[in-house]
Amino acid sequence: MGLKGWVRNVSDGTVEGEAEGEDIGAIKEMKHWLSNVGSPASRIDKCEIKDYQSTQFKFKDFVTRH
């Protein structure tokens, strides 16, 4: 997708993360995937996405945090 950022599982069973990128289409695709598809072992009960606009990118790659 060309996005950068991070994701992690939280002890309460939720998932949180940040993603950034210049490709608006990739961002929309990621939002759709998070809201409607998810990973094969996941169950989506609710999805909250907050949009922030930034002129500076702070991530170099996409990682899973523990």
pLDDT tens digit sequence for 23-32? 989 999 999 9
Task: Kindly tell me the sign of the dihedral angle through the C-alpha atoms of 37, 42, 46, 50.
Answer: negative
Which 3-state string (H, E, C) describes the chain? CCCEEEEEECCCCCEEEEEECCCHHHHHHHHHHHHHHCCCCCCCCCCCCCCCCCCCCCCCCEEECC
pLDDT at 40: 93
Query: pTM for the full model?
Result: 0.78
pLDDT at 55: 73
pLDDT at 59: 94
Annotated domain spans of the chain: 4-50
pLDDT tens digit sequence for 9-50? 999 989 999 999 989 899 999 999 999 999 998 999 999 999
